[in-house]
Every structure is written in structure tokens, then in C-alpha cells.
């Protein structure tokens, strides 16, 4: 477990460059481990699990995260937003710098995952986009 935390911290340093206080999100088709963390993807099939890891180089003081997935829909010649999935997370002691889990989406479309802290719920900690294709 310590190796995974160290590896994720180093990876986060490379992904954010000089700005070491920014959080990031990586998606994968398989459960995220040290061996497959570089196999991240942004394209998924509807009905399949979408695994994600939220990397936080800066400690979240309250240890609570708000995670939401928003669908951006352009079917009616206007940019619409639809809240698809939300989750409140309490970080454990070993998860101070990262959180990993999965969710399933059954509709095709363009989605954005956003992560907020309970410390400052108006400021987005991390944001990442992905696509879901029909089966």
C-alpha cells in the first residue's frame, strides 16, 4: 500500500508539472493498480465499469470529497447539463492523497467528472472528461 501511495504521488508530480497543489483524475477500464495506471482511457462502452483514481498531492483538511458526473448534452441545439451521478466520500487515513473506485453509466454521451472538497465546495479540486459509446 505504501508503494502505491508513493507511486501515485510521483505520478501526480509528473502530471501536474510545477504546480504540485493541483489534483487530477485518471480513468481506466480495469481496477487501477501500479501496473496499469499508465493504461488510462477516456473512451468507455455503455454498461461497463469505469474505474477512476483521484490524486490529491495537497491534503484535504476535512477529508470529505464531493464527486459528481455531469452529462453535457447538445441534442436540442443548446448546451445542456444533466447531473448523472454524485457521491460524498470520507477519506480514510490511508487515502489522504488518493481515492479510487468505479461507477457505471448506461447512456452514451460526453461526460465530465468534477471533484470538490468540503473545505471549499465552490472551488473545483479536479475535473476530467470522458466519453461513453453505445454497445
Q: pLDDT for 46-73, tens place per residue?
A: 999 999 999 988 877 788 999 999 998 8
Identify the CATH number of the domain in which residue 65 sits. 2.60.40.1930
Domain range for 39: 2-133
Cβ pair 101, 52 in contact under 8 A: yes
Q: How confident is the model at residue 15 (pLDDT cuts 50, 70, 90)?
A: low
Distances (CA, A) of 46 to 79, 87, 96, 109, 126: 22, 20, 31, 9, 24
Tally of domains within the chain: 1
Q: How confident is the model at residue 82 (pLDDT cuts 50, 70, 90)?
A: confident
pTM across the whole model: 0.81
- Judge residue 135's burial from the number of C-beta atoms within 10 Å of its C-beta, 0-12 exposed, 13-18 middle, 19 or more buried: exposed
SS3 per residue for 13-71: HHHHCCCCCCCEEEEECCCCCCCCCCCCCCEEECCCEEEEEEECCCCCCCCEEEEEEEE
Q: How confident is the model at residue 112 (pLDDT cuts 50, 70, 90)?
A: very high
Amino acid at each position: 500500500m505504501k508503494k502505491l501511495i508513493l507511486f501515485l504521488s510521483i505520478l501526480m508530480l509528473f502530471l501536474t508539472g510545477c504546480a504540485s497543489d493541483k489534483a487530477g483524475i485518471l480513468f481506466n477500464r480495469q481496477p487501477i493498480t501500479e501496473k496499469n495506471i499508465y493504461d488510462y482511457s477516456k473512451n468507455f462502452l455503455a454498461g461497463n465499469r469505469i474505474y477512476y483514481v483521484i490524486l490529491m498531492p495537497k491534503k484535504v483538511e476535512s477529508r470529505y470529497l464531493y464527486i459528481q458526473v455531469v452529462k453535457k448534452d447538445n441534442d436540442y441545439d443548446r448546451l445542456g447539463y444533466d447531473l448523472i451521478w454524485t457521491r460524498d466520500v470520507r477519506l480514510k487515513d490511508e487515502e489522504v492523497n488518493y481515492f479510487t473506485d468505479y461507477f457505471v453509466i448506461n447512456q452514451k454521451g460526453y461526460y465530465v467528472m468534477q471533484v470538490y472538497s468540503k473545505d471549499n465546495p465552490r472551488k473545483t479540486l479536479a475535473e476530467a472528461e470522458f466519453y461513453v459509446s453505445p454497445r
